Every structure is written in C-alpha cells, then in structure tokens.
Amino acid sequence: MTSDQVAEQRELEAARIRVDELRTQIRYHDHRYYTLSQPEIGDTQYDLLLRELRDLEARFPDLVTPDSPTQRVSGEATVEFTGVQHREPMLSLGNVFNADELAAWYARAVRRIEREDLRFVCEPKIDGLAISLVYEGGRFVQGATRGDGFRGEDITANLRTLRAIPLVLNAPPESLPRAFEVRGEVYMSKTEFERLNEERRLAGEQLYMNPRNTAAGSLRQLDPKITAARRLDLFIYQLGWVEGHRPVDAHSDAMSWLGGLGLPTNPLTQTFGSIEEVAGFCEGWVEQRDALEYGIDGVVIKIDDYNAQRELGVVGREPRWAIAWKFPAEQAVTRLRQIEVSVGRTGVLTPFAALEPVFVGGANVSLATLHNLDHIHELDIRAGDDVIVQRAGDVIPQVVAPVLSRREGREADLVPFEMPSTCPVCGGEVRRNENEAAYYCMNRRCPAQLSRGVEHFASRGAMDIEGFGEKMAFQLVDTLRPDSALHYIETLADIYSLPALRDELLTIPRIGEKKLDALFANIEGSKQQPLSRLLVAITIRHVGSETARALAGHFGTMSALREAALEDLQAVNDIGPIVAESVYDFVRDSENAALLDRLAIAGVRMDEGRVAARGGVLDGLSIVVTGSFAIRPRSELEELIKSLGGKVSGAVSKKTSFVVSGEGGGSKRDKAETLGVEIIDEQELFDRLRGFGWTDAPA
C-alpha cells in the first residue's frame, strides 16, 4: 500500500469516527427537541452539526447509511396517541443562511432540470408544529402530527377544536377530489401566549417558556378541552396527496384554491420570477419578523411548478425543489455566572440571570429573566450551570433550561437557589404572598420600589409626564435635599412639589433650566388626566388600564371609589373578587389614603368626566385596533374611540364594524381579511372622524 493510500485510509477512518459521533449527537438532540420538548442546544448549533455530517457524507459517499439523520426526518410519535402512517412522507427542508447559499441551491436545480424559467413561492417559516389534515367528501376526517415524517400521532379530536380548521369545506363535495391531504403549521400567537402566561402568573403557576413548545404541548393534550382553551392558530402551507385528478398544476394555484375552500393560508406569501427577488424578500423579513403576531424562524422558498418539482425529486430527507432561508439563531448556550435579584415598583423580588455574554437573536446578551423562584426550582437552574438562553427581537432574553448533561463532575459546586430573606436594596423584610409565587419587599420606602413607581406614574399610559424617565426618577429618589434628611421624592405626591424647589434642583448635576422647566410644564399638565389614568398610575395590584377604565366609568369620582363597599366593587363589570379586594384594601390603607389626599390638594383631577359619550360619532360601532402606529400610540387611539362612543374589541368577528390596522397588524388583520371585515389605516380613521364632524383629528 502506497503512502497516499495509507493517508486516504486514515482520512476515511477519521471521517468514519466523526460521522458516528455526529449521528449520535444529532439523534440525542432530536429526541430532546421533538419527543421531550427539552432542547439542550439552539437551532444554529444543531444546524452546524447537521451541516458537518452532510459535508462528510458528501466527501465520503461510502459512509452514507439508510438510518443516517441526513436520510430521515427527525422526531417520533409519542405512545399516548394512535399512530398514523402518512401516505406521502412529510419531509423536512434543507437550510441556507445567505444569498450566496441560496444562489448555489438555485444553480443546482437549474443544472438538474436544464431550465431557467422558474418561479418561486416564498412565505414566512412559522415556528410551530407541522400537521397533516385529511378531507374526504369535503369533510375533515383525520389530523396527525408530522412525527418522524413517515408516521405521526392521530390528534384529530384536538385539531377539531381549532376554529381555523373548517370541518366542512366551502365547495360542493362533487366539485372536489374524493379525498386529499393538506399540510400546515399550528402556532400560538404572541398575544395568546402572553394571555395564557398572565393567567398562570395570577394563579401562581409555572410560566410557559415559548409559544412554539406551548403550541406543541397544547396539541398533545389527552383532553381536547384543554386544547380548545389555548386558542391555537393555523396556516396551511401545502397541498399533499390527492385521490384522482390533481386540480392545479402549481403550488401558488394550490394555495389560492385551498384559500377559496376556507382553509387559512398566509397572506404574506409572495411569488417571484428571479432568485434575486427571493433573496431580497428573505433579507427583508430578517428585520420585519418581530412585527408579526406570531414567531417565524426563516422563510420557505418553493419552486412553483409541479412538473419541475417532480423532475427535481427528493434527496435523503429533503425535497430538492424547496429550501428554508434560516434567520440568525435566537437560542444559544452559555454559562450562568450568578442568580441575582431585582426589586420592582410593587416590591416584587424578581430573580434574573447574570450570564457569560453570548450573541443571540441579533444582540449580545449578558442578563436574562428567570421569572420566579418556583420556576427556577421547577427547572433546577443553578448558578454555574450551562444554560439555554432565548431571545426574540426586543423581547427580554430568558433562560429556557439548564443543560443537565454538562453538570457531570461539578454537581457539588452547583447549589440550588433560594430567595433572600431581606431586600437586596434596602435590607427590609421579605415575605411571600400565600396566594402567589412572588416574594415582596415589605418596606414601602424602598428606593427601588419608589423610583420604579415614579417612572410608572409618569409613563405614557399613566399620568404622561414627558421627561420623567428612569434616570430622572432614580436621580430624584436617590438625591438628598440640601441640609435635610429627606430626598427630593419620598412619595409619589412629592412629584407635584418639585416646581417649588426649582433653585435647589438646578444644583443637581446634569439638570439644566430648559430641561427642568419643560418637566415642570408637563407635571402641571398631568393634573388634568382623568381618574382612570390616575388609577393606573398609583399602582394598585391587579389594576391595569382596562380595569381602571371600568372602575372610573362605574364610580365617576375618587371619593365614590374610596367610599365603595367590597360588594359595590364586585358589582362592577369584569371586576372579580381578587381585584375588588385589592382595590378595597388599597384605598383604606392609611399611607395610601394620605397619598390620595395630598394628590387632591396638589390639584390632581379626581374624576373621570365625560369619557365614553353615548350618542358619540362612533356610538354602536365595534372596532379592533391592531399593530403599531406613527401618528398616535395604539393606547391613545383606543381611548379616542371609546371617548367617541365606540367599543374597542380585542378580537375580530363578523360583528366587527372595522379594523384599524398599523404596521404588523398580524393575525387580527388576517382574520379581518378572511371574514371580509373592512380594514382602514390610522390616517383613514382620522379622515373618517373629520367627516363625522370631529374637529380634533389630526390632518
């Protein structure tokens, strides 16, 4: 054997060892992600393992085996549900990460079928759970998960609870194929995820980690009633097998046909005639993704023509006629240095993670939320652990889970976390509320509570005092007055005493005359905010903007609210016993009563006035506001609509009068389009109000 042959043999043997290692790792992570829903690494790290394996198999074809992860789809059906054999495999997609890799994929397709007249269909890649739906005679008869691509789980009963899935298609049965399959992605919207977690937080239950895993878990519930309560959504992304004649010749036509039958398809789907246009579409969604009401982790690109798809065929586990442009990772693994505790405006102690800096979701992350003590104990997160960190856009980074497999040999150094018995800021007593998961600092004069409280009091949704942000609030809470043992702000009412201390305040570093005079003008203007805004500002536990409006609308004045009996509070619409008791206790507390008296003496308005006028120009209309806006914030638009007699609804239905949609209208806009409900933008709303005779609408 020559020296070159020996070298080749050694290289092959080294590749064989590495291939075996990669396959073992990938199968391990597949099991944790698809079956246990407990991933240990992020998507990008997984993709790198798979890419390395694919490259090695390409260099050494003799190492390819039928059971390699590159030759099959990941995931397994769980034993709780009946298995379903897919007539055609539900394949997964290969990945590209930039325009050059996309161009290389396109070039391979062109060489294989020797044609360049290709069109492409692109749609956001939903971060959810892939499913199969079977219709016979126009009726939904079976639904299944993707499973391992060949065999999934029968979840028909659960899928029947999804309102997005029509049980009967919108066409005469005789006009349809006798039976056919469609494929889609079930997901949970960001709004629904937040609503579900808020319910669990108030109930003192463990919070869910992310919408994708919550949606997957919801579909796998053995009780369909639980699935129904989760308000899942769905987009259909493909026509699968068809018995008899296929009604269309292209993927784009199939999507139009399925949409006409009443199946939900993504309105953001677009068709392009060049791969350069496709790359531009994908790059655009890297920046826009966070504006959507649901999570996406890339863009799916498909060659439109079915004949071209058949010619290209499938290689291993992936179709050659489709590819996924994957976005930058939103999960990564790093070391948890320490678990620290912050104090909020209500006195809640919130643990957070101090991390070894890691780049995730487009930013360097060194701090992440850990929710509460119960959550930390449930996942057994400890300082010193390697942990999975998740970040999506501007969402606060969070620790998803510890990587338990990396603890080996270090267990004795990793001590379980316990909440401190005294406040880390003021040293005050810490107690746990028996009915909640939260721990509270009991010292109302705690600087952390007060500065956060001042910042909230001045925020746009409360008293709207522009110029009173986090830095100013902390500075005035933290700074002692000259020759005094008192700080400039000791209680919220002290905000209205600041103008009388102008000369003293000008001695504080970084506070100039113009800045201070503008702040004083805004403080004076805030006195005219209605009672509902004041109720938000003073931080009554469980009272947000909607509850505050209900209370202010019912009682009208602060004095009436302060005199209300507990049963009077419980009689208010949408006010339950927990909220009623919280309000009742707040207004009868001696310190809070003194605060309210001082605010009244300072001239702060203590009545609601005419907020929702019967007979107003929008009286009797049900309006949905969704997205972000340029002229006025969404909260102000909603208040304006209510002040003119309109009802602001949180959900789109056939009874909705119209939808005001801004940037990123999301699923509410989609629902309106499906139902044929009128959609207008912010400027059209103001134009309409001027047409009704409303003179305060901006031009």
Distance CA 517, CA 510 (A): 14
Both tokens of 621, joined, read 């209309």
Amino acid type, 205: E
Distance CA 74, CA 68 (A): 10
Cross-sheet strand order for the sheet of 120-126: 95-96, 322-326, 296-303, 120-126, 270-272
Distance CA 684, CA 688 (A): 6
Amino acid type, 554: H
How far does the chain reach from its first CA to its final CA, in angstroms? Answer: 87
Amino acid type, 435: N
671 in catalytic set:
no
Residue 320: name the closest of 173, 497, 105 by CA.
105
Cα dist from 436 to 195, 373, 440, 474, whole Å:
17, 11, 10, 28
CB 351 within 8 A of CB 339: yes
Distance CA 410, CA 609 (A): 64
Which listed residue (125, 190, 668, 671) is catalytic?
125
Both tokens of 159, joined, read 């899928």
Helix/strand/coil (H/E/C) assignment for every residue in 615-634: CCCCCCCEEEEECECCCCCH
CB 463 within 8 A of CB 486: no
Helices (H), 66-210: 99-113, 156-159, 190-202
Residue 673: name the closest of 269, 145, 219 by CA.
269
Per-position DSSP letters for 519-544, written without gaps between them: HHHHHHHHTTS-HHHHHHHTT-TT--
Both tokens of 536, joined, read 């938000």
Three-point CA angle 672, 675, 677, nearest 5°? 55
SS3 357: strand
What are the catalytic residues? 125
